[in-house]
Structure 1
Amino acid sequence: MSLFKWEHQAVDTFAALHDLSGRTAVVTGGSRGIGRAIAQALAEAGADVVIASRKQEACETAAAEIHQATGRRAVAVPCHVGRWDDCDRLIAETLDTFGRLDVFVNNAGMSPPYKSLETITEELYDKTLAVNLKGPFRLAVLAATHMAEHGGGSVINVGTAGSLVASVHELPYACAKAGLNALTVGLAEAYAPKVRVNAILPGPFLTDISRGWAPEDPDDAPFVPLGRMGRPEEVAPLAVHLASDASSFTTGAIIRVDGGVTRKV
């Protein structure tokens, strides 16, 4: 076999393994930032997608843009992931619309600012835990239960590298996301062998959330070994990989995408 033919077959095999045609994926927090990039990439790989976030208009805009760009079905489902009734409705509406659920991306999150640790209110703490851990727990369990009963699937939890090196400035958020790491490992065991559960831990990325602390020049970030901030589209290919058959022997993994910030942890 010539080298050219081998390379051509390798490319075909790689593409086939990452093909998500005929599958349905849900992305929470999918209207902007990392979630928006993941939803776009999943659709480009062939999946129909559900865009979920709190603001219906933002969901509808993202869904329309993704459909126009990829030709895949994309629907908007407003959902406050901190409320279990909304979580239940998101799963039910997905199944009513598409009749299947193959990939679930727990991406929604929030990190409300506070002046100091002693000023953190019970309301702020509870709200942070609800969106970053309580809701994702419910959603992952509902999604994985359905997948286990219908041929399998993939759950992807999007956390943060900050869960490994918790900062005093985002401690409730880091605590919740550390819980998401534990949830990933526990669910990987609970729903094996049919459902794979993995986590992605982004580091310093250019998103709406990072605007308050990101350097003026995102390509000059000396605190990052790679020297710059990350961009949402640099996380999306990993999500496609974890959603696809290319990662068929990967579960319970917690993968850092942080430019090397937590390299020594």
Structure 2
Amino acid sequence: MKTAVITGTSRRLGAYLAEKLSAEGYQVFGLTRQLNPAQQYLTQIVVDYQSADSVMSAIRQLQQNGSIDLLIHNASLFEKDELHAHDSIDFYQALFAVHMQLPALLNQHLAAQIATTQGSGLIVHITDIYSENPNPAFSLYCSTKAGLENLMKSAAKAYAPQIRVNSIQPGPIMFLPEHSNSEKQQVMQQTLIAEEAGFEPIYQGVRFLIDNKFVTGLSLKIDGGRSLGK
């Protein structure tokens, strides 16, 4: 049985990927900030992403379970700068912990287990199209996602050829409940394929990266053309 480790599995994209991979026959370990009782199909490990000690405790649990075929860095914190005008330092540290420290520690300490899958081991960083073309309203978020993108490239060089490392840069796949109709319309007007695609295209991107053994160091945009604009 193949094994996948995914961060941020309690809801949205992480939950979708965990369920799809579980249905494929993967043993899925989900690193999450809170348990989801409905997710009986995966092994949930509660982690405080902002605590290096908590992350290392989770890593030790994962190290006891043998080889890992797939590691997906999905955990994310997406909020506007203006919401943290009075705690910007704490907010920035939280972004760094989730988007950069957590993936870096997992890559470093699980690489030996991923490398044992005889060249088919794969790490996927879920970044953002904003990592290349930042949105000034989310400048702190964008900068740490750019760091996650750069970390992917470094890891691709460091772990080749035993482990392939790639990123997926999502666009407007699924709006948040707090998005207003005007915000949704504005995004759609800037997207070549003007539809809310859902999470399936991201899963298809993961499947492409799993199946194509000659791809590493790739930033795969799955954004309906949003990064090009109109």
> Partner letter of residue 137 of structure 1?
A
- Aligned residue for 1:115, secondary structure, equals helix
Higher helix share: 1
- Identify if the C-alpha distance between structure 1 residues 229 and 150 changes in structure 2 by more than 3 Å, giving closer, same or farther: closer
- Aligned residue for 1:101, secondary structure, equals coil
CA contact (8 A) 2:2 2:25 kept: yes
* Matching residue of 1:39: 18
* CA deviation map 1:183-224 (0-9, x unaligned): 1111001001110000001111215xx332353796992222
Asked whether 1:249 is paired with 2:228, we answer no
Residues 1-265 of structure 1 aligned to structure 2 (within 5 Å): 22-56=1-35, 58=36, 60-62=37-39, 64=40, 67=41, 74-96=42-64, 98-115=65-82, 121-149=88-116, 151-152=118-119, 153-206=121-174, 210-213=176-179, 215=181, 221-242=188-209, 244=210, 246-263=211-228
CA contact (8 A) 1:25 1:49 kept: yes
Structure 2 unmatched runs, 5+: none
* TM superposition shift of 1:118: 6.1
**Percent of matched pairs sharing the same residue:** 24
CA contact (8 A) 1:161 1:203 kept: yes
Using the alignment, how far apart are the partners of 1:156 and 1:214 within structure 2?
31
- Identify if the C-alpha distance between structure 1 residues 170 and 252 changes in structure 2 by more than 3 Å, giving closer, same or farther: same
- When normalised by structure 2's length, the TM-score is 0.89
* TM superposition shift of 1:39: 1.2
Please say which of residues 35-44 and 79-88 is displaced more in the overlay. 79-88
Please say which of residues 35-44 and 113-122 is displaced more in the overlay. 113-122
Compare relative contact order (CA 8 Å, sep 6+) and give the higher one, 1 or 2: 1
Report the count of equivalent residues.
Answer: 227
- Identify if the C-alpha distance between structure 1 residues 85 and 151 changes in structure 2 by more than 3 Å, giving closer, same or farther: farther
- Identify if the C-alpha distance between structure 1 residues 151 and 258 changes in structure 2 by more than 3 Å, giving closer, same or farther: same
* CA deviation map 1:135-189 (0-9, x unaligned): 1111122222332256341111101111121111111110001011111111001
CA contact (8 A) 1:117 1:168 kept: no
Structure 1 unmatched runs, 5+: 1-21, 68-73
* Deviant stretches of 4+, over 6 Å: 216-220
CA contact (8 A) 2:84 2:91 kept: no
- Identify if the C-alpha distance between structure 1 residues 88 and 240 changes in structure 2 by more than 3 Å, giving closer, same or farther: farther
Using the alignment, how far apart are the partners of 2:103 and 2:145 within structure 1?
10
- Identify if the C-alpha distance between structure 1 residues 163 and 214 changes in structure 2 by more than 3 Å, giving closer, same or farther: farther
* TM superposition shift of 1:48: 0.9
CA RMSD of aligned residues (A): 2.3
Please say which of residues 130-139 and 252-261 is displaced more in the overlay. 130-139
CA contact (8 A) 1:108 1:131 kept: yes
